Structure 1
Amino acid sequence: MHQSEGSCQASEIAGGSGRPDGGGAPSQPKQRIRYLDTLRVIAIAFVLVNHTVGPWMLSLPDQTLNWWFGVTYFFMCKFAVPLFVMISGALLLRKTDPYQKTGRRIVRIVKALVLFSVFYYFVNQTSYSLIDFVDRFWHAGICAPLWYLYMYLGLLIMLPLLQRLASVMRNRDYLYFFAISLGIVNLLPVVAAFSPSFEPTSYFQLPLFTGFVGMFFGGHYLANVAKVTRRHAVIAAVVFLVCLAFLVASTDYFYQVNGGKGYLAMDNRTFSPIMLMAACVFVVVRWREDARAGRPASSAAQHVIRELALCSFGIYLVHPYFVTLMKPYFVQAAASAPDVFALLVYQLVLFAVSFAATWLLRLIPPGRDIL
């Protein structure tokens, strides 16, 4: 399993060429990891769902049938960002790169962050100021979905040390790591949400085991260390449904306790149930692709998945623009058609338009380098 340096953002965050020689254009891959491509497509599709179903659900009358569908749909897509982080860990922690290579990755992500921050600043503002831009860029971010790039930069800065740590870890080390990450750092906030008395003092810190580092190592473990069998896939599917049921039931609990306010207390992508859901999707998809490894696959289907995977990072960057642009049409459609039908059509069209825009931008050499 190898990776193209020429398209590090796409390969590590959302796409990737998979070239074994570490170079070349992303449009001419020699080798790909098929199940990671599938995971990228699933992740970016549910990112778009996440950014559209939430506002719709919150606009509905509480505890109606559509509202419950919205709550379930809302939490079902929360695994998307953790899944992206896991894909990055699967690709980046299997090797030890020179510091210079990490520096080039950082520069490329900074370019994407600055470029799209400038774009969204001009799109969303009516008056412009360099001081205002710099202040918002540094302290709050220009566009909410771009938070991921700030977080990812932090992971890249830590990457050389994380790679060296992963290179010497054994099975018992991983068990210890995940026991602390999932069992303490990411589970205590869930327990504390139900009973604040369980929340420890702020002086108690386990910084190496933050949620995103746990996801990073989780992807590496499931891709490069663990063996995945049919039994594991079945267990993963059950665990996914149990976690989803827990999140939906918790929403009802907090709705009743808080008098209809603050009921989305479990809406945190670093909480253990959501991280487990991402791991479950990873296991099921990997097992499915491994089971099909010796069977002939449709070249057309592979081509479509490859193109969608290559464009997934770009889709992440451009879709907020199209969410804003298309929302009035969704509101208009929802007024004359069933809400759920209008929402699904809106999401499909949003995905298609975002993909088309990214595909066109990738035809331009600077766009291909960033996207």
Structure 2
Amino acid sequence: MKQSKRVFYFDALRAMAIIGIVFCHAAITFVVTGINNSDFYISAFFDCFRDFSIPIFVMLSGALLLNKNDSLKKFFKKRLSRLFIPFLFWVLVYIAYSAVYIKHGFYLNYAIDVFFGTSSTFGVIFWFIWMIIIVYVGIFIINKINHFGCSKTDGFDKRLFTVLAMLSVAYIAMVHFCLFDPYKSKLTYFISFMSYIFIGYYLANNDFVGERLGRDAMIILTLILSVSLYFYYIFGYVVPVSVSTNHFSYLGYFNLLILAMSSSIFLLFKYLDRTSLSGKIQDGSWAKPINLISKYSFGIYLSHYMILSFLKMNLIKYVDFTHQSPLFWIPFFVIITTVLSLAILQILSKIPYIGDVAGRG
């Protein structure tokens, strides 16, 4: 098997997570128009891929960026600029798109709302950018504390991140049982995602396989947990609550069920990476698309929503897909949107001076 500096299961998780987000946005049209029909089960199943995809994205940031010692200059140049440059490009594209196709004119207040990812605008997806910027600042501060502690005490980093992971689980439990409300402001909501940063680092850097529980047993356990928790979430909560209230309902990210589901999927990929199957995938034809999607995952996140909107807006002139099977149309939109996103991003990446807007990782 070829050796690589990249961790393959990180790439596989990132590719799965971004495709999960595209699935969510492709399914929105079907979810909001069909709560009381039988196809709602299918639409909700696809839409809620988002509910483990976002936590996994954040967990990967923790696994990759915690316990580093970047200087302030490197932090701004290597971390924040990689976020902000593609974001600035795409937010301008979204504002222009909105002016032409949605608002039919330029309105400064609307453009500002798009920039800040206000939920009622076409820029709704940009909330993630502001959240991840705040999280990155938090990572930088924690890394500086950790570096200082390690200079004074051996093993400080292991103890620090173990305690922070335990406190993060406790925090999510507090939110789960309504002992704290992270949704009272955007700032508390965004900062709350630090919990997934610490949990992601802990899961990536600790081995849960021992004498009593082998690798294969861990794979079977996490597979059963991942599938059963997701099916319970969809058919035990989302569908019945949505049908009873006639309003699409789902859990927030700071919930023990979402945490358990996201963590089990993370660990499933981690331990599958140690099997011969993973080696065959990395040496086979599947490795290239997985690595490509992972590499451009940030760019896909920024571009896919507009591409998907354009596809739906034009296709519905000829086919009323909202009254047809979501089992066909949702994957159809996901495939076309992902392919078009990758094509556009690869073209942008080859243009001199503006290649950074493609959001390559």
1:188-229 Cα distance to aligned partner (Å, 9 max, x none): 44344xxxxx668999xxx79954111112221222233553
User: Does structure 1 residue 342 correspond to structure 2 residue 342?
Assistant: no
Q: Quick one: which amino acid aligns to residue 230 of structure 1? A: D
Say which is worse superposed, 167-176 or 278-287, in terms of deviation. Answer: 167-176
Tell me, in whole angstroms, the C-alpha distance in 2 between the residues paired with 1:239 and 1:269. Answer: 18
The gaps in structure 1 that reach 5 residues or longer are: 1-28, 193-197
Aligned equivalents of 2:182, 2:130: Cα separation in 1? 27
Partner of 2:225: 239
Q: How many residues align?
A: 330
Higher relative contact order (CA 8 A, sep 6+): 2
Larger mean CA deviation between 301-310 and 313-322 belongs to 301-310
1:278-293 maps to which residues of 2 (within 5 A)?
A: 278-292=262-276
Structure 2 equivalent of residue 260 of structure 1: 245
Structure 1 residue 181, shift from structure 2 partner:
2.2
| Kept in 1: contact 2:222–2:264 (CA 8 A) | yes
Cα–Cα, structure 1 residues 368 and 219, in superposed 2: closer, same or farther, change >3 Å? Answer: farther
- In structure 1, the residue matched to 2:198 is 217
User: Could you tell me whether the CA contact under 8 Å between 1:330 and 1:342 is conserved in 2?
Assistant: no
Q: Is the 8 A contact 2:176 2:254 kept in 1?
A: no
- For residues 43-192 of structure 1, the aligned pairs below 5 Å read 43-62=17-36, 64-104=37-77, 105-125=79-99, 126-130=104-108, 133-134=111-112, 137-138=115-116, 140=118, 143-165=123-145, 173-183=160-170, 185-192=171-178
Task: Answer yes or no: is 1:251 the counterpart of 2:238.
Answer: yes
In structure 2, relative to structure 1, the CA distance for the partners of 1:190 and 1:108 (3 Å cut) is same
The separation in 2 between residues aligned to 1:208 and 1:124, in whole angstroms, is 27
Q: Secondary structure, in 3 states, of the residue corresponding to 1:254?
A: helix
Contact residue 43 and residue 83 of structure 1 kept, 8 A = yes
C-alpha contact (below 8 Å) 2:51/2:258 kept by paired residues: yes
C-alpha displacement of 1:115: 1.9
Deviations 1:279-315 (A, max 9, x none): 2222111211122399554254323322222121111
2:275 is aligned with 1:275: no
Q: Hey, what's the Cα distance between the residues in 2 that align with 1:137 and 1:334?
A: 31
Mapped contact 1:106–1:153 kept (Cα < 8 A): yes
Please state how far the C-alpha of 1:174 moved relative to its aligned partner: 4.6
1:132 to 1:225, Cα distance in 2 relative to 1, 3 A: same
Counterpart for residue 354 of structure 1: 341
Any conservation in 2 of the 1:243–1:277 contact (CA below 8 Å)? yes
In 1, are the aligned partners of 2:31 and 2:248 still within 8 Å (CA)?
A: no
- Tell me the amino acid that sits aligned with residue 326 of structure 1: L
Query: How far 1:151 moved relative to its partner?
Result: 0.6
Residue 333 (structure 1) shift = 5.8
- Cα offset, 1:172, TM superposition: 5.8
Q: Secondary structure at the match of 1:78?
A: helix
The correspondence of residues 320-335 of structure 1 with structure 2, limited to 5 A, is 320-328=305-313, 331=316, 332=319, 334=321
Question: What TM-score does the superposition give when structure 2 sets the normalisation length?
Answer: 0.79
Q: 1:124 deviation in Å?
A: 0.5
In the alignment, the residues of structure 2 paired with residue 201 and residue 38 of structure 1 have an alpha-carbon distance, to the nearest angstrom, of 30
Aligned to 2:153: none
Give the CA deviation at 1:163.
1.9
Other structure's SS at 2:273 match? helix
Structure 2: gaps (5+ residues): 151-155, 210-214
CA shift digits 1:126-150 (9 cap, x unpaired) = 3225565346535837611111111
Amino acid at match of 2:222: A
Structural RMSD (CA): 3.3
Contact kept, 8 Å, 2:66 with 2:201, in 1: the verdict is yes
Mapped contact 1:187–1:272 kept (Cα < 8 A) = yes
Shift of residue 80, structure 1, vs aligned partner:
1.0
User: In the aligned structure 1, how far is the partner of 2:116 from the partner of 2:183?
Assistant: 25
Equivalent residues of 2:87, 2:302 under 8 A apart: no
Aligned AA (1:150) = W
Identity of aligned residues (%): 18
TM-score calculated relative to the size of structure 1: 0.77
